[in-house]
């Protein structure tokens, strides 16, 4: 397809060693050639593809040298967008990259929309929709494992599996068409029904396997929202600081020091945790602290995991017991902290309230028990370790929703076979499954959804 030429800054704004202005489109090389001057007199129009050239960016109107640069020339279709691509590498800095971008726009390009480079890669058939979405996952990855999963999807691991399943469905649909067109042949009908049952059962098992990885995949993509709760001064902020290895939260002996919700991402054995340190939950007359306590209660309801911290040096209080009631239906780990101090906590009572949940004893001050706590969290969600690299993880909420719909549709097919539903009715549900899987890779998707998805990308990507 022929699109207009777009340009954007592809590196974060601010001081840095290098800044990059990216241009793509049919006139990318011509526009760059207008503002580029080589010390040897060479021009970019005659440059070979995938070469890099030293020179200067010059304002064609004034002949003023604006920057010393390295210009990469990449000719389509062997580029990310399958169009001609120019990347101007200049000194990093807000003024430098903005001056070059302004000159590029003045000489015929327009400013790219967010994600438009990746959108063109999709529209030009370079990648499918699931691969495009994986690029943003790769950018946002917070652990090595999350990055590897995103890289696998970007390289087409999920796409290949979805395409394979769709091809299996097409073969079935072809047999159904033959059965409908030639109803007089009993052997064709028998073969079609047998094939339909085998394929539907196989497709169901594959979709179910994908959904089994969905919870882990979603955690790898978005992080495990982990809320630290407890009465004031039991060690919640110290635990947060221990996980992030810095004094992120203020720690004092004064109850009520933490008055608001503090969030921080950490990497626990390859699992990204979105740690939330909450204000100590207690009855208080302090207006600001009261607001913080109420926010803490709201955050608990949205948690994937709760870390309930108790004080080994104090007896169990009614406020502690109230916290157990707040986490009644939630995944939680009970932490008895300050084991370096004399024991006053009734552990038998804690075990009763914990209702089978794991109890960890710690001295955060002396770094005792933290390793066991990390192992416990990993065991709860990944059986102690992240799954095999051979697994195809589903990490995207849109993909999960579509696979759930496809699984329901294939279950309708299997139920229809058991109930002797006519083959042409089964064809409808089988076709629906094929279409739903196509939406994952962008085969059957509306323009509005495409625009919405790519608008979430950063500018210049």
With tokens 């480079």, the residue in question is: 117
pTM of the predicted model over 0.95: no
Q: How many CB atoms lie within 10 A of CB 144?
A: 11
**Polymer length in residues for the chain:** 461
- Name the percent of the chain in helix, strand, coil, to the closest 5: 50, 15, 35
Domain 6-128 sits in which CATH superfamily? Probable tRNA modification gtpase trme; domain 1 (3.30.1360.120)
Which residues, at least 6 apart from 375, have a Cβ–Cβ distance to it below 8 Å? Answer: 269, 384
For the chain, the domains span 6-128, 131-213+394-442, 222-382
- pLDDT per residue as tens, the chain (461 positions): 567 999 999 998 778 889 999 999 999 999 999 999 999 988 999 999 999 999 999 999 998 999 999 999 999 999 999 999 999 999 988 889 999 999 999 999 999 998 899 999 998 989 888 888 888 777 777 777 777 777 887 888 888 999 999 999 998 888 787 766 666 555 555 666 788 888 999 999 999 988 887 777 777 777 788 888 888 888 887 888 888 765 443 333 434 434 345 677 788 877 788 887 765 444 444 444 455 556 666 777 778 888 999 999 998 888 888 888 888 888 889 999 999 999 998 888 989 988 888 999 999 888 899 899 888 888 887 764 445 454 577 778 888 899 999 999 999 999 998 898 888 888 899 999 999 999 999 887 777 777 777 777 777 77
- Do 131-213+394-442 and 222-382 fold alike per CATH? no
Topology adopted by domain 222-382 = Rossmann fold (3.40.50)
Q: How many CA atoms lie within 13 Å of 213's alpha carbon, on the beta-carbon side? A: 23
User: Which whole-number Å values give the CA distances from 144 to 152, 268, 376, in the listed order?
Assistant: 12, 11, 20
Which residues, at least 6 apart from 136, have a Cβ–Cβ distance to it below 8 Å? Answer: 115, 456, 457, 461
Measured over the CA atoms of residue 453, residue 454, residue 456 and residue 461, the dihedral's sign is positive
Architecture of the domain spanning 131-213+394-442: Up-down Bundle (1.20)
Q: How many CA atoms lie within 13 Å of 247's alpha carbon, on the beta-carbon side? A: 4
Q: What are phi and psi of 79, to 5 degrees?
A: -140, 175
The token pair that represents 276 in the structure block: 């939330």
With tokens 């916290």, the residue in question is: 323
């Amino acid at each position: 397809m022929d699109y207009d030429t777009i340009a954007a800054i592809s590196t974060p704004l601010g001081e840095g060693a290098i800044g990059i202005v990216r241009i793509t489109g049919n006139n990318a090389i011509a526009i760059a050639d207008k503002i580029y001057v080589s010390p040897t007199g060479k021009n970019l129009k005659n440059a070979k593809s995938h070469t890099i050239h030293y020179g200067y960016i010059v304002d064609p109107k004034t002949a003023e040298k604006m920057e010393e640069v390295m210009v990469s020339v990449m000719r389509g279709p062997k580029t990310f967008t399958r169009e001609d691509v120019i990347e101007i590498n200049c000194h990093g800095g807000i003024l430098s990259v903005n001056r070059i971008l302004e000159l590029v726009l003045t000489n015929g390009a327009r400013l790219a929309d967010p994600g438009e480079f990746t959108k063109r890669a999709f529209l030009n058939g370079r990648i499918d929709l699931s691969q495009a979405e994986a690029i943003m996952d790769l950018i946002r990855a917070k652990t090595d494992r999350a990055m590897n999963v995103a890289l696998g999807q970007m390289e087409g691991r999920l796409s290949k599996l979805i395409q394979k399943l769709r091809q299996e469905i097409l073969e079935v649909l072809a047999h159904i068409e033959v059965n409908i067109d030639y109803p007089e042949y009993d052997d064709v009908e028998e073969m079609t029904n047998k094939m339909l049952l085998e394929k539907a059962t196989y497709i169901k098992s594959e979709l179910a396997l994908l959904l089994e990885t969905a919870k882990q995949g979603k955690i790898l993509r978005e992080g495990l929202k982990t809320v630290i709760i407890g009465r004031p001064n039991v060690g919640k902020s110290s635990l947060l600081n221990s996980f992030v290895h810095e004094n992120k939260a203020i720690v004092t002996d004064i109850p009520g020091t933490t008055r608001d919700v503090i969030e921080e991402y950490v990497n626990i054995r390859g699992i990204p945790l979105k740690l939330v340190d909450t204000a100590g939950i207690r009855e208080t007359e302090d207006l600001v602290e009261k607001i913080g306590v109420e926010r803490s209660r709201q955050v608990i309801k949205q948690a994937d995991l709760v870390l309930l911290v108790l004080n080994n040096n104090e007896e169990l209080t009614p406020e502690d017991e109230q916290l157990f009631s707040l986490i009644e239906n939630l995944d939680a780990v009970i932490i008895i902290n300050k084991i370096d101090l004399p024991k006053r906590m009734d552990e038998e009572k804690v075990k009763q309230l914990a209702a089978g949940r794991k109890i960890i004893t710690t001295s955060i001050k002396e770094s005792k028990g933290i390793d066991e706590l990390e192992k416990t969290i990993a065991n709860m969600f990944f059986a102690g370790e992240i799954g095999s690299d051979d697994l195809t993880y589903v990490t995207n909420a849109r993909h999960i929703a579509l696979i759930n719909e496809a699984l329901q549709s294939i279950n309708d097919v299997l139920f229809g076979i058991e109930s002797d539903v006519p083959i042409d009715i089964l064809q409808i549900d089988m076709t629906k499954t094929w279409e739903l899987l196509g939406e994952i890779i962008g085969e059957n998707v509306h323009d509005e959804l495409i625009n919405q998805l790519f608008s979430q990308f950063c500018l210049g990507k």
